[in-house]
Structure 1
Amino acid sequence: MFEIKARCASGRVGKWTIGKHAITTPTLAVVVTPNSRIVSIEDIKKIGAQIIITNAYIMKNSEHAEEIEKKGVHKFYGWNGPIYTDSGTFQMYSQGKFEITPEETLEFQKKIGSDIITPLDLFTLPNDSKQIAREKLKETLIRLKSARENVKDQLLCGPVQGGAFMDLRKKAALEVSKINPDVFAVGGIVPLMEQYRFSKLVDSILTAKMNLDPSKPVHAFGAGHPMIFSLLAAIGVDFFDSAAYAIFARQGRYLTVNGTRTASELHELPCSCPVCSENSARELVGDASLLAKHNLYATFEEIRTVREAIYDGGLWELVEQRIRSHPALLEAYSTLGKYRKFIETNEPVSPGHAFFYLGKESMQRPIVFRVKDKLKQAEFPKTSETFNWLGIKVPLGLKMVYPFGQSVVPKHRKSGTIKPVEAARQIIAYQYGIKLSRAKKLIKRYTEIELSRNTGRLQRISYKGALLGTFRDSDGYFIPTFMFAKDILKYLKGTYVVHVNKDVEQFVREGKNLFSKFVASADERIRVGDEVFVLGSKNEL
């Protein structure tokens, strides 16, 4: 089960229940192998890992195979949390060996007690022809269907392949969703990351994400460098895995969120983890174990930073800081423009964090495009007094509404005054996408407006002593009373409306929670955090 606890951009903090265990996402599975322990299991846990991932192909072909089968994978590694097993597809591709069948790897993973099982998919190379990629995808889907029939007691990973062909990526995502695995893993992306082809990486992940069941976590298979975590989380990746911490350490390389450094070239250690606090740059040279520990500390520090940015509502700001560390990341960020309509659907109405303008890249955020669309829908007259927000003319009545009232933008000034009644009309028109002329019929001339003594913000609206609604302090949006909601509903024409199944109507009327599976239909324009109108089978509020 995967429960979403917080959102920002397309990023999600989730609670993923795996058997008896629950982990918080976004997170990273640390790659461990039976033949080499560069960092102890105790240290891996201490540094912050909630889950580890190991390779079925390597285990089955190792000198410890018999011991692993006898003890089980948890006892062998001494790990009491969830363990994810990879089938070994990438290793067989990289080594040019094919010594295990799809059936054998499934049975082996089940026998050793893996918590998440991966079927043996066919790894699609970036330079594979479309015909080869299509054939590999077809076989991968056959294998996944068979795995779904055979894996009942553990969770099943669904690899999403397709190579460099986005139409095949789309088909893969749709077909894999139908098979209904427990986690989706976008595969075939390691070569893209090795070659710094981050734009193609974004294409591959977003094409898959747009066509996958949104209720399941998404794993970017092989993504383990902290410099890409924030960008991938912002486009909807929930899960990463890393062998990079060990591979790079053996090569004498030092991980940072801004890229990879050669340890022997460092004069200072730009990190305050225990390894870097207790050792000099010179002492790290040639010590793969110390480097690997540092690399894990740096990796999990960024994982926690990304999660906090989602909780805090500042994920886009974090992304815009990180993409400046490499030109290929900056280029990848510009690729998001192709997918802005999809990304906007996942963007909360207000993230709980002020809009910080950090440069021209900030103009590409989904909220900027949403603002333009909502202003157009409201049909504000050209005679309305406005202020300038990022080059957009915004009616003065919206100056306290997110993002306008919660922005930090250089040379951004909101001058001028407006009558409270007119401001209330503009907010309702903007919020619900109705024409300003209709909002004037809802908010009559002699409506009473209560303002905050400290900030001057609109707080409550009443008419002839009856409360019509209040304004949210966090973002300036309007919350109508039940009676006034009926009046607003007359002007909506089906927008911002949710219809519930007849079986749960009474429960909803009693104020109980409405779960998504009991929703009969919903307006596609509804976004996370919107005030909506819940209707019964007879279209009554």
Structure 2
Amino acid sequence: MAQDISFQLDATDGKARAGVIRTTRGDIRTPAFMPVGTAATVKGMMPESVRATGADVLLGNTYHLMLRPTAERIDRLGGLHKFMNWNGPILTDSGGFQVMSLGALRKLDEDGVTFKSHIDGSKHRLTPERSMEIQRLLGSDIVMCFDECPSLPADRDRIASSMELSMRWAARSKAAFGDRPGHALFGIQQGGLEQDLRGRSAEALREIGFDGYAVGGLAVGEGQAAMFDCLDYAPDQLPEDRPRYLMGVGKPDDIVGAVARGIDMMDCVLPSRSGRTGQGWTRRGQVNLRNARHADDPRPLDETCDCPACQNYSRAYLHHVIRAKEMIGGMLLTWHNLHYYQDLMAGMRAAIAAGTFASWQTEFHARRAEGDIEPL
């Protein structure tokens, strides 16, 4: 791996893996969930609060930051870590997924993508080289290579040509990344739900050689069953001695299923986005705090949780501030959700280390199946 960055696998249980990615800015315990700090902030959270939930690493977004406030400005101000007051590791995505989701606002060619900003309509150009430059200016610890991610369903020819383009871009990303001690570059496997295309993609990436490998192009509308089918083989196609990162996933049961299939890292906007809309994720599943049943409920959201929302506030209060559109509602629920997600990861790491992951999984699903506590 890159100098000063290493991956150590400490335990396996079935395909599930527990280990640590060591970086110059601190260790990332795996399996790891990365809260998404799209625009240099995890919405509704102070960086020290995010750290208090147990997060080791954050994700920043190349596309959003290049548009506003610009990577050049962040660089002048001392880099992304200093700018957003986060001293732990940061992974930045390459911008490929966001550009793909612009649809009609983008134009793709062999060299890269031209697109219009969703903010002001201004025209921009993103290539593998420019993506590497932006991520260098941001100063992220883990850099993602620039890829093209087709939305599913798509026909096999479209998926194949997209994957081959992504592999050419991966080679260009590696060349443009250069030699950067203390920084890692991850390649991204593509190939949709086609096992042989994913195999070809993995082979191309191995040949180029990366510090870690992502399974890209999932969680784009294919559904959990199809995603799990793909994860039954995709992680196995990637090097065993490198971290494996599943991009953009997901709900708690998606995450548990991914870890069971050999994934080490994940990210998703869900815990923070859900928090802002009144949804709490708990061991018993999802709870909608907007529902009238909580209006007179003096009990905490989850009596076993030690986050501030559960320790200091009732369901009735959370219901009230969410319905009244008070800022603290989204803040408290976001903290709770991120705390729950990090608790989930810690539980899996401990179970894998103890060799009890199968029974841990059974208990996880059984508790969720019970549903929320009975109304008063």
Structure 1, unaligned runs of 5 or more: 328-541
8 Å Cα contact 1:116-1:155 kept in structure 2: yes
Structure 1 residue 296 corresponds to structure 2 residue 302: no
> 2 CA distance for matches of 1:21 and 1:326?
33
Pick one of 243, 253, 256 that aligns with 1:217: 243
Q: 1:325 and 1:123, CA in 2 relative to 1: closer, same or farther beyond 3 A?
A: farther
Task: Verify the 8 A CA contact 2:32 2:345 in the aligned structure 1.
Answer: yes
Matched with 1:156 is 185
Partner secondary structure for residue 207 of structure 1: coil
> Which of 166, 171, 175 is 1:140 aligned to?
166
Kept in 2: contact 1:226–1:257 (CA 8 A): no
Partner of 2:217: 188
Offset of 1:257 from its aligned partner?
Answer: 4.1
- Show the counterpart of 1:317: 359
The reply to whether residue 276 of structure 1 matches residue 338 of structure 2 is: no
TM-score by length of 2: 0.81
Deviations 1:398-438 (A, max 9, x none): xxxxxxxxxxxxxxxxxxxxxxxxxxxxxxxxxxxxxxxxx
Select the structure with the greater relative contact order (CA < 8 A; seq sep ≥ 6).
2
Sort the Cα spacing of 1:312 and 1:174 in 2 relative to 1 into closer, same or farther, 3 A. Answer: same
What are structure 2's unaligned runs of at least 5 residues? 1-5, 106-114, 116-123, 323-328, 370-376
Query: What does the per-residue CA deviation read over 1:227-254, in whole Å, with 9 as the maximum and x for residues that have no partner?
Result: 3333221211111113211111222211
Provide, for residues 21-57 of structure 1, a one-character-per-residue CA deviation record: whole Å limited to 9, x for no partner: 3222111111113365311101001111111110011
1:106 aligns with 2:132: yes
Rg bigger for which structure?
1
Deviates more, 1:303-312 or 1:32-41: 32-41
CA separation of 1:124 and 1:64: change in aligned 2, threshold 3 A: closer
Where 1:185 maps in the other structure, the secondary structure is strand
Q: Distance in 2 between matches of 1:32 and 1:163?
A: 26
Distance 1:128 1:214, change over 3 A: same
1:259 aligns with 2:293: no
Alignment partner, residue 10 of structure 1: 15
Q: CA deviation at 1:106?
A: 1.0
Q: Is the 8 A contact 2:26 2:89 kept in 1?
A: yes
Report how far residue 16 of structure 1 moved: 1.2
- Structure 2 residue identity aligned to 1:156: L
Contact 1:118 1:156 in 2 (8 A): yes
CA shift at 1:74, angstroms?
1.0
Q: Per the alignment, do residues 255 and 75 of structure 1 end up closer, same or farther by CA in structure 2, a change over 3 Å counting?
A: same
1:23 maps to which of 20, 28, 49: 28
Q: CA shift at 1:67, angstroms?
A: 3.2
Question: 2:128 touches 2:176 (CA, 8 Å); kept in 1?
Answer: no
Given the superposition, is the C-alpha separation of residues 234 and 112 from structure 1 closer, same or farther in structure 2, using an over 3 Å criterion?
Answer: same
**1:270 partner SS:** coil
Contact kept, 8 Å, 1:230 with 1:318, in 2: the verdict is no
Question: Whole-Å Cα distance in 2 between the matches of residues 63 and 148 of structure 1?
Answer: 26
> CA–CA distance in 2 between the matches of 1:167 and 1:43?
43
State the superposition RMSD in angstroms: 2.0
Counterpart residue type for residue 220 of structure 2: P
Deviation (angstroms), 1:307: 0.5
Give the structure 1 partner of residue 207 of structure 2: 178
Runs of 4+ in 1 over 6 A off after TM superposition: none
Distance apart, 1:183 and its partner CA: 1.1
Question: Which shows bigger deviation, 121-130 or 296-305?
Answer: 121-130
On the 8 A contact 1:67/1:76 being kept in 2, the answer is no
Q: 1:295 to 1:94 in 2, by over 3 A?
A: same
Aligned residue pair count: 324
C-alpha spacing 1:191/1:25, structure 2 compared with 1 (3 Å) = same
The structural deviation recorded for 1:15 is 2.0
Structure 2 equivalent of residue 117 of structure 1: 143
After TM superposition, give the deviation of residue 103 of structure 1 in Å: 1.9
**Aligned residue number for residue 270 of structure 2:** 244
* C-alpha deviation, 1:215, in angstroms: 0.7
| DSSP 3-state at the match of 1:190 | coil
Alpha-carbon distance in structure 1 between the residues aligned to 2:345 and 2:89:
18
In 2, Cα distance between the equivalents of 1:59 and 1:109?
10
Q: Distance in 1 between matches of 2:219 and 2:238?
A: 20
Contact 1:229 1:302 in 2 (8 A): no
Q: Equivalences for 1:202-213 in 2 at 5 Å? A: 202-213=228-239
2:118 counterpart residue number: none
**Secondary structure in 1 aligned to 2:281?**
strand
**8 Å contact from structure 1 (residues 226, 256) kept in 2:** no
Kindly indicate whether the alpha-carbon contact (under 8 Å) linking 2:57 and 2:91 is maintained by their aligned counterparts in 1. yes
Please say if 1:82 is aligned against 2:89.
yes
User: Given residue 306 of structure 2, which amino acid in structure 1 is its aligned partner?
Assistant: C
Contact 1:7/1:13, CA 8 A, preserved across alignment:
yes
Alpha-carbon distance in 2 for matches of 1:115, 1:217? 14
Q: Which secondary structure state, in structure 2, belongs to the residue aligned with residue 307 of structure 1?
A: helix
Indicate conservation of the 8 Å contact 2:18/2:31, yes or no: yes
Shift of 1:305: 0.5
The alignment partner of 1:191 has SS state of: coil
- How much does 1:66 deviate? 4.4
- Give me the TM-score of the superposition, normalised by structure 1: 0.57
Give me the whole-angstrom Cα distance separating, in 2, the residues matched to 1:48 and 1:8: 23
* Alignment of 1:59 onto 2:65: yes
CA contact (8 A) 2:145 2:174 kept: no
Alignment partners' CA distance in 1, 2:20 and 2:272: 28
Asked if structure 2 preserves the Cα contact closer than 8 Å seen for 1:226 and 1:298, the reply is no
Conserved in 1, the CA contact under 8 Å of 2:92 and 2:140? yes
Shift in CA distance, 64/139, structure 1 to aligned 2, threshold 3 Å: closer
Identity %: 27
